[in-house]
Amino acid sequence: MTDNTHKKGFIRRFFGAIGGAITWLRRVFTNLLFLLILVFVLAAIFGKEERLIVPQGAALKLAPTGFLVDERSPPSGLPAFLGGPPGPVETRVKDLVDAIDFAAKDKRISAIVLELDYLMGGGLSKLEEVGAALQRFKSAGKPVYAVGDNFTQAQYFLASHADEIYLNPMGSVLLTGFGAYRNYFKSALEKLKVNFHVFRVGDYKDFIEPFTRDDMSPASRENNQRWLHELWSEYTEQVTGLRNLPPQAVDTFIEQLPQNLRQQNGSWAEVALSNQLVDQLASRRVAVKDLQEKIGIGEDDKSYKSIDALPYLRHQRLTEIAPKPGTNKVALISASGAIVDGEAPAGQIGSVTLGNLIAEAREKKVAALVLRIDSGGGSAFASEAIRQELLATREAGIPVVVSMGSVAASGGYWIAAGGDEIWATPSTITGSIGVFGAFPTFEESLESVGIFNDGVGTSDLAGTMRLDRALPEPAAEVLQLGVENTYDRFVRIVSEARSSTPEEVHKIAQGQVWTGRTAQQLGLVDELGNLNDAIAGAARLAELEDYELIEIKRQLSPGERFMRALSDNVDARIAASIQANLTLGAWLSSLEPALQPLAELQSYRDPRAIYARCLPCRAP
């Protein structure tokens, strides 16, 4: 008798065959899709640049997405549109500035149109650099227009440079002023029985205050109020000047917003128009039609005649006349992010990584070096290692100019002290000359749940840095002495670099934060100006009339190049909208600053756990 127990019935075999066919088709489709993407990206990376036609009389469309940065973060993992986590969406400031400057001299470009809906923010100094380029464009006799459904504070700063601003009738201009707020955990740590050990010098070094207090200290409040008011004055003075408004117009707009909204039946757009913050209320369709009359009709008859900024920039760089052989070179290196020991990707400043780039500039025998710093600090050891590389460059006869971005404070200023000249924008956040050491121990937390630590050592310092043991008094003394020694070294470095004395530097140090304008008055900065000004200053120091600017940067790995090309060839608005519409994610991300100081300490990798880092130095 035949055993049919394990034989499948007809129906099961039929549907099994269908399931297998579907699985096969899915695999084939997935593989084909992957191959198509691969071909697309390889063509983007290695293919020849298509010849771009710039329409005569076209407008340059400037539509930055995400955050303005000096150096883009490295691509990691799959882009969001392929199922990866939403990463940072960024636009490089120098790319925008270069595109605007090319367009100012290009007879084919008749105007600039700012479409700012997908700009998420950027430090005031970065906004100022783009604004200065827009002013140079206008000086060439060409108009600038701004179109927006809504304008945030950062977006409106750029829009204020326009000759005419269009706002959607259902839109708004949201101006709120600058602020510096954070969470404090002293009571929470006490309840959790976490002992946070702090070693510092100076009354104003408040990086670790969130773990030692439940509120902002009077010294920190005084310091933060000063630089915030200075930056806000910088913002309002520029906006009111550009819009030909009374000096207090922006502050008055904010103060009287509730009653003005009542008068305008809750219409933010009407309030903005009545306060002369915008010139015309118009839907996107009406604004485009108006721009078509002023600039010309685009190829699809639905848009104005224009060319996007970044493709235009790539085209101009490819067609730019090459410098003559033997032309002197000025090197530009960008250093953005927290300062850490050793190797680091873009978005962080690794002592070895940046040191190698500076050494590469020496090997290329450049005539001058410009180091662009955008950092609130990090490892003191790493900062000193980088400064030594700058000193070696100067000893090789190469002038070094430091250009400060939005922030160049604490360890960022430590590095800057290695330059021949220091340039900052008026709104740069700098100073914060101070040092601290900090780490938590959890011995009491563990004991409360029945976990104890015991053992023997050959000295009182054995096992000192264990998180599950109390910190011995000799170890605490050693750490405090190390912090004091590092602070004294920091002050001596600054006093020698700025032709001052340690006593005079100490008065403006102790962790105090300054704007670039005030820092120049205090002697911490030589000149006020943007990156282009600093580059011209470096050429002047090297006594150059004709020179070529070259950028020296960490080369992306093949995998990073692949992911960068993949991301760059997707409509940037898709990426921006993914980032902007993650409402829950955005709310959760607002909690990240709470534990950020502790997370940052872990990442700096300072061999002695001594840091030169500024917590409030996050550009508004």
Task: Point out the residues that are catalytic.
Answer: 205, 410
Alpha-carbon gap, residue 430 to 516, rounded angstroms: 6
Residue 620 CB-half CA count within 13 A: 23
List, as one string, the DSSP characters of 508-563. Answer: H-TT-EEEHHHHHHHTS-SEE--HHHHHHHHHHHTT-SSEEEEE--PPPPHHHHHH
Cβ–Cβ < 8 Å for 370, 534: yes
- Tell me the backbone φ, ψ of residue 450, rounded to 5 degrees: 90, 20
User: Given the DSSP bridges, would you call strands 527-528 and 421-424 parallel, antiparallel or unpaired?
Assistant: parallel
Q: Is 394 exposed, middle or buried (0-12, 13-18, 19+ CB in 10 A)?
A: middle
End-to-end alpha-carbon separation of the chain, Å? 85
Please list, in sequence order, all residues whose beta carbon lies within 8 angstroms of the beta carbon of residue 466, skipping any fewer than 6 positions away: 441, 453
User: Given the DSSP bridges, would you call strands 164-167 and 280-281 parallel, antiparallel or unpaired?
Assistant: parallel
Cβ–Cβ < 8 Å for 169, 269: yes
Alpha-carbon gap, residue 524 to 413, rounded angstroms: 9
Cβ–Cβ < 8 Å for 62, 115: yes
Q: What is the DSSP letter of 243?
A: T
- CA 197 remoteness from chain centre: 31
Alpha-carbon gap, residue 149 to 339, rounded angstroms: 38
Alpha carbon dihedral 415, 417, 421, 427, in 10-degree steps, equals 70
Alpha-carbon gap, residue 371 to 70, rounded angstroms: 11
